[in-house]
Structure 1
Amino acid sequence: MNLKFLRKKKSFPIRIFRITVAVIGIIIVAFNDYFGKIEGFVELLFLYFITVIITVSHWLFVNIKAIVKLKNEKKKTELMHLQSQVNPHFFFNMLNNLYGLVDKDSEQAKKLILKLSDMMRYSIYEGQKDYVTLQQEIDFISNYIALHKMRYHKNISINFDVDIENEDLKLMPLLFIILVENAFKHGVEVLRDNAFVNISIISNQNTITLNVKNNFDTKEQSHEGIGLENLKRRLELAYSKKYEFTHTVNDDIYTAKLKLTL
């Protein structure tokens, strides 16, 4: 017996009841002159209208509930799709770097592989969950930064400051990494000298604030792109009016700030 048949079987008595209520209403209207002379007709009519109101209310409740459920499922599906788009080109670039590093420095390559493995495991398993802890996100960003420090052979300055009261705060996975990755992609990877990225995460009992600042080559394209569009859409779906996101450009300095209220 399949699910579709079970649903039909379950809804069959309800349909019979609704049809019966409708038929009784038609009979009352058609033979109003006759029924109006019967003792207790007013009370019976009142009871009938109460039944109609309850039936209509139940129908509205069931349909509204179904619409809300469908909307939530669609929202969750879209969120999962957006989360699956995070970091693919980073992993691709890292694998290319590893290929060139294996013969030159096998020990360094091994360290890179371990950290990359941790990041991929987090993206695949934790990244599909609705929520993760703040500490898990911090660890993920730390691994990301460590990988970048290993792969570059130029003078760069990377600072990551953390000041949190509760490391068990829950938030959507792979959210902060978009802004961090954006800073490296448009700054460190492009600039030849004196590149810097400053990152800070500050939180109290119900807010988390991420600040990211980096310099960039003004001749290159802007920081706007698929990554930021992805971030904005995910924030709107998951946090609605519970977030503040700003980003500014001052000469060759790009600053992004994201505040979540949990």
Structure 2
Amino acid sequence: MVEYIKKYRAFLIALIIVPIFYMLDYFGVILIPNDDPLEVILITLFWWLAIALPIHNYNYLKRQGATILKVIVLIILFSVALGIDILMDMPDNPVTFILLMGFWIGVVYLLVPAFIKKYWKLIALIYIPLFIYFLYLRLFSGDLETYLEIKEDFPFYIFFLPIPILFFLWVFEQWKWFQNLKSEKSQAELAMLQAQMNPHFFFNTLNNLYALTIKNSEKAPEVILKLSDMMRYTIYEGKKDFVTIGEEIAYLNNYIELHKIRYKKDVDILFHYDVDTHLKIKPLLFIILLENAFKHGVESWSKSNAYIHIYLTYTDNFVQFEIENNFDGTHTNNGGIGLENLKRRLQLVFGKNYALLINTTLNTYKVTLKIPPHA
């Protein structure tokens, strides 16, 4: 919200036109009609935009040398229009009208060229019929007296009505741009968080693999295959928006098997799943919890009864991943950066449509994660 206000602060600054109008009216320089509020609103809106848009695009105007030349041309065009209007002294002079219309179209195009290029057909559809009708009334409806009589009854403010419509359309375009910017920022942050997998596991596994190859262990080929599958999954499948639960289960099983090879002590590892393996979910959400169970649980546990129990189920339209492990009470088991990473990813992906519950006792740590599957 603060970024949005900073971006459009020129429109807040331009509101100074309101007290200026009332001050000029107070000193008799201008007269604000009390019986025509619509005219006051339209004129105020017109001058508000006339002040705000140049300020809003000041840096753009400053950078563009060619733009300065265009501004000079527009100023000359405006001066010529005023000069002709003064010299000819004709009410609603068609020549002045045409020149002023060209001036304001040039101003708007100079300030918001992308918007004009995108909606020029709509603008032409609105204003060309109005312009033709004005010329018909002014030039072909009879003499000047007849035109002035028609003007008294004709609602000429319809020439100004499209301005707020086009303005709100431009505001909507800016809102869409802002929403897309936030979405792109979230996607970039999500990609960065998704790539922050723990590299220590891979390095440790490679060290273990090196030891196995020296011993000519029969486990070496198995380790190579599982590590290869994990790296492939992390690099390629992890970039996808969704994967099947079956693929995620295979990835977690490979991770568990590699850790079993790594540890010399017995660890009670239970991985039970009762879920449709064809359901699709976001990838690499469960691995952080499993990493933490090994890192803060098994590795800190000096006794012989270390355990990790995992349950993956599907209930109430949510995929539930529940993991519990014991840990040495002298160590702090807060999940570290990995858990903060996971929380941020969950917020970016699901908003409030998820649940992450953590329950810690003296020697046990239990996490329950509930996420919706892909519809």
Q: 2:151 matched to which residue of 1?
A: 38
SS state of the match for residue 127, structure 1?
helix
Hey, what's the Cα distance between the residues in 1 that align with 2:117 and 2:202?
A: 56
Amino acid at match of 1:56: F
2:174 partner amino acid: N
Larger-Rg structure: 2
Structure 1 distance, partners of 2:158, 2:186, is: 43
- Alpha carbons of structure 1 residues 13 and 141: separation in structure 2 relative to 1, 3 Å: closer
TM-score (normalised: structure 1) = 0.83
Residues 1:88 and 2:199 are matched in the alignment: yes
Per the alignment, residue 185 of structure 1 pairs with 295
Q: Which residue of 1 aligns with 2:244?
A: 133
How far residue 10 of structure 1 moved from its aligned partner, in angstroms, is 5.2
Whether the 8 Å CA contact 1:182–1:223 is kept in 2: the answer is no
- Give the alignment partner of residue 241 of structure 1, picking from 349, 352, 364: 352
Higher RCO (CA-CA < 8 Å; seq separation 6+): 1
Task: Give the TM-score, by structure 2 length.
Answer: 0.59
Give distance in 1, aligned partners of 2:311 and 2:256.
Answer: 13
Structure 1 SS opposite 2:151: coil
Specify the SS of the correspondent of 2:323.
Answer: strand
Alignment of structure 1 residues 78-227 onto 2, 5 Å: 78-164=189-275, 166-192=276-302, 193-204=304-315, 206-227=317-338
CA contact 2:318–2:370 (8 Å) conserved in 1: yes
CA contact (8 A) 2:356 2:369 kept: yes
Compute the displacement of 1:89 (Å): 1.7
Q: Which has the higher helix share?
A: 2
| Alignment partner, residue 28 of structure 1 | none
SS at the partner of 1:242? Answer: coil
Q: Is residue 74 from structure 1 mapped to residue 177 from structure 2 by the alignment? A: no
Could you tell me which residue of structure 2 aligns to residue 5 of structure 1? Answer: none
Spell out, residue by residue over 1:89-110, the C-alpha distance to the aligned partner (whole angstroms, 9 max, x if none): 2111111211222112432111
Identify, as 1 or 2, the structure richer in strand. Answer: 1
Do the aligned partners of residues 58 and 9 (structure 1) sit closer, same or farther apart at CA in structure 2, a change above 3 Å counting? closer
**Residues 257, 36 of structure 1: CA spacing in aligned structure 2 closer, same or farther, 3 A cutoff?**
farther
SS in 2 for 1:235: helix
> Compared with structure 1, are the counterparts of its residues 219 and 11 closer, same or farther at alpha carbon in structure 2 (3 Å cutoff)?
same
245-254 or 229-238, which deviates more: 245-254
- What is the root-mean-square deviation of aligned Cα atoms in Å? 2.6
One-letter code aligned to 2:230: M
Does the C-alpha gap of structure 1 residues 253 and 36 become closer, same or farther in structure 2, counting only changes over 3 Å? farther
Distance 2:338 2:249 in 1: 19
Identity over aligned residues, as a percent? 45
Return the letter of the residue paired with 2:284: L
Q: 1:70 to 1:116 in 2, by over 3 A?
A: same
Contact 2:271 2:311 in 1 (8 A): yes
Residue ranges of structure 2 left out of the alignment (5+ in a row): 1-111, 131-146
Unpaired stretches in structure 1, ≥5 consecutive residues: 1-7, 25-33
2: CA distance, partners of 1:70 / 1:123: 27
Q: Which amino acid aligns with 2:160?
A: Y
Bigger drift between 180-189 and 196-205 goes to 196-205
Residue 368 of structure 2 aligns with which residue?
A: 257
